[in-house]
Amino acid sequence: MWALGGVMRSVVVLVLVLVALALFGPLMAPSDPTAIDIPNRLKPPGEGWLLGTDALGRDIFSRLLHGARWSLGLAFFVSALGLIIGTTLGLVAAVGGRLADWLVMRVTDTFLAFPELVAAVVIAGLLGASTESLIFALTVTGWMRYARVARGVGLSLRSQGYVVQAQLAGVSAFSIARWHYLPALMPSLMVVWTGMFARAILGISTLGFLGFGVQPPLPEWGTMLLDARVHMRSTPLQMIWPGMAVLVCVLAINLAGDALRDAIADEKQT
Amino acid sequence: MIQIVASLIGRAVVVVAAAAFITFALLWNAPGDPALAIALARYDALVDADLVNQVREEAGMSDGFWAAFQAWIAPLMTGDFGNSSVNGRPVLADLLAALSYTFPLALFALTIGLVISLPLAVLATRYPGSLLDRFTVGLASIGVAIPAFWLGLLLILLFAVQLSWLPAMGARTPYHAILPALTLGLGVAASLTRIIRSGILEARGKQFLPAFRRRGVAETVVARDHIAPHAAVPVVTVIGLELAFLLEGLVAVEVIFARPGFGSFLVEAILARDYPQVQAAVIIAALIFVLINLGIDVFYRLLDPRMDVGLGGRDA
């Protein structure tokens, strides 16, 4: 899997850089992202402020670096929660017999029948804007794809010799799911996960922009865009940076996902 | 076929009913007193305990969850979505008025998406791996990764603020639809380009094509009769996903362009805690969405007769 092309290698490097940014970015920030400094508000990029300051005189560069922890960190957390919930439900459907399968898949279809982000807006908005509501809303609307993949692969493995033999030997359904299905599932789940990770970043910034997500003064990228929009005429550059940050992260993760999918397809062929 | 359509319809009914129930449960458990919110919205600051109790009585909220659910769902069955708890007007009329702005915008955006993506994908696949092909793929990857609301802000900045070519805010003239439709359309174009491109490439690798060529069938006829139908199958599959993507984009795009429509309606209803409006918006959206997916499912089965087993839906 690691015999990768040049593009893939650079994408892996980019993703590692993003992870490092989320972990260590705040440590590198030159100033406090929430320190208000009204006399120096809406400064252009340059001396003292690498990317200028916002309407409250806060350093935009510092806010971007701290924002990585919110935008990327939350997206990672939300997509990992979805991975755990969805995979568990999918495996229950695959090993749990007909009734469990029917039940889980109908619930999955119902949740898939509504555009996820619109549902997340409704849920987060009604629960009251906060980080907890945001996490809840995006997790509730973000587990279905994992469940479908987990169930699909699980069902396709059911007639494999080693699974049948394990069943005949009296191995419990739980152990079969844990030791036979789950390892075989991992590559497909990772491809789904990269897609959901990217979607979560977009979802968090969209909800933040609509005012239903991470609340000010926390420096989340969507929330920063909401602030910047008001001053679009006087300081248009302020609006560029947070959007750029979202774009670069989503692009890098999508490309990594594409490369991973190709690598898996190649491995299957050989 | 009739059996399949019947089971698809049955599933659609379950989905809409579940959406209605989940929305109601969510509203019921949302923090704050809905009766107080309604009373405040209606009578401003002149609210006392009696008034709140009166509102609670009217909405059937005093006898617990199930009584309130019944009080809400019974008129709904006859198509009565009730009145807005904020402005008192019938919810359905306002919602339909909002949708009358959203539908043309969505169609406009889909058209832009198709007009850009189809020729681009066809040109790019003429020489796979060429500069044009790689350029197309790169552009599409960037387009998929751009948040719709940010692209909208950039377009406003460029065309409305800097160049003053197009109006940005509101929906007074048809020109006001250009920027929002472009915002959504570019996103649609990006993901459609990727899908159509890989659809064509896969169809061109089919093993039966050389047989036609050796028999002397013209290349244009092969493309039209044998490559295009095969390339269309994956495209139709993801149209449902595409519409979901469009609806998601619409919410934020309508808000940034200050356009009336479904998205603005929903966001304003949530911010005002106008429960009847939120419920109506969710149910109508679920209904529209399920109907569209139903149509796609049926169409897909007509297009590809092999798909008679296993119910598809919005699979990734």
- Cβ separation of A114 and B150 shorter than 8 Å? no
At A164, phi and psi to the nearest 5?
-60, -45
Asked if the model's pLDDT at residue B315 lies above 50, the reply is no
* pLDDT score for A89: 93
Chain A closest CA to B136's CA: distance in Å? 15
pLDDT of residue A1: 41
Task: Calculate mean pLDDT across residues A222-245.
Answer: 83
Q: Which residue has the higher pLDDT, A198 or B55?
A: A198
Range of lowest pLDDT (A1-15, B125-139, B229-243): A1-15
Percentage of chain B modeled with pLDDT above 70: 90
User: Cβ B252–A125 below 8 Å, yes or no?
Assistant: no
Tell me the average pLDDT across A133-137: 91
| Most confident by average pLDDT, A20-24, A66-70, A118-122 | A118-122
**pLDDT one-digit tens code per residue, B55-66:** 777 666 666 777
| Cβ-based contacts of A232 with chain B (< 8 Å) | 153, 156-157, 161
> A239-253, B69-83, B238-252: which has the minimum mean pLDDT?
B69-83
CB-count exposure of residue A265 (10 Å: 0-12, 13-18, 19+): exposed
Test B286 with A148 for CB contact under 8 angstroms.
no
At A10, the pLDDT band (50, 70, 90 cuts) reads: low
Q: Among residues B268, B254, B292, B255, which one has the least CA distance to residue B102?
A: B254
**Confidence check: pLDDT of B206 > 60:** yes
Judged by a CB distance cut-off of 8 A, whether residue A15 touches chain B is no
Query: What mean pLDDT is predicted for residues A101-109?
Result: 87
pLDDT at B184: 92
Nearest to A239 among B146, B153, B271 (CB): B153
Rounded to an integer, the average pLDDT of A127-137 is 87
Identify from B137, B164, B169, B270 which residue to disrupt to test chain A contact, counting A C-beta atoms within 10 A and taking the largest count: B270
Nearest CB to B145 within list A106, A209, A251: A251
Q: How confident is the model at residue B42 (pLDDT cuts 50, 70, 90)?
A: low
pTM of the model: 0.84
Mean pLDDT, range B33-43, rounded to an integer: 69
- In this prediction, residue A96 carries a pLDDT of 82
Q: What is the pLDDT of residue B312?
A: 43
Dist CA A144 CA A105 (whole Å): 9
Three-state secondary structure of B250-299: HHHHHHHCCCCCHHHHHHHHHHCCCHHHHHHHHHHHHHHHHHHHHHHHHH
Q: Does A126 touch chain B (CB under 8 A)?
A: yes
More confident call, B7 vs B124 = B124
The SS3 assignment for A99 reads helix
Q: What is the mean pLDDT of residues B16-20?
A: 81
| pLDDT at residue B309 tops 50 | no
Chain A contact set for B286 (CB, 8 A):
113-114
Question: Do the Cβ atoms of A210 and B146 come within 8 Å?
Answer: no
Q: If you average pLDDT over residues A119-148, what whole number do you get?
A: 89
Q: Can you tell me the mean pLDDT for B294-315? A: 62
Please give the mean pLDDT across all residues of chain A.
82
Whether the CB of A206 is below 8 Å from some CB of chain B: the reply is: yes
Structure tokens at B18: 């579940």
pLDDT above 70: residue B79? yes
In this complex, which of B19, B150, B156 lies closest to A243 when CB atoms are compared? B150
Q: How many residues does chain B have?
A: 316
- Nearest to A92, CA basis, from A100, A84, A81: A100
pLDDT band at A81 (very low <50, low <70, confident <90, very high): very high
Chain A residue numbers touching B247 (CB-CB < 8 A): 115, 118
Span A225-243, mean pLDDT? 82
Q: What is the ipTM of this complex?
A: 0.81
Share of chain B above pLDDT 90, in %: 9
Predicted pLDDT of residue A147 = 92
Q: What are phi and psi of A49, to 5 degrees?
A: -130, 110
3-state SS, residue A198: helix
Query: A145 vs B316: CB contact, 8 Å cut-off?
Result: yes
Q: Reduced to 3 DSSP states, what percent helix, strand and coil does chain A have, rounded to the nearest 5?
A: 75, 0, 25
Give pLDDT, residue A5. 60
pLDDT above 50 for A73: yes
Query: Is A251 close to B15, i.e. CB distance below 8 A?
Result: no
Stronger pLDDT, B223 or B36, i.e. the higher one? B223
Q: For residue B226, which phi and psi values (nearest 5 degrees)?
A: -125, -35
Where do we find the tokens 């702005």? Answer: B101
Mean pLDDT of B46-63: 71
Q: Which residues pair with A53 in a beta bridge?
A: A59
Q: What is the rounded average pLDDT of the residues A2-22?
A: 68
Preferred mutation among A15, A101, A126 to probe B, highest tally of B CBs within 10 A:
A126
For B153-201, how does the pLDDT look when each residue is reduced to its tens digit (9 = 90+)? 999 888 888 787 877 777 777 788 888 999 999 998 998 898 888 888 8
pLDDT at B51: 76
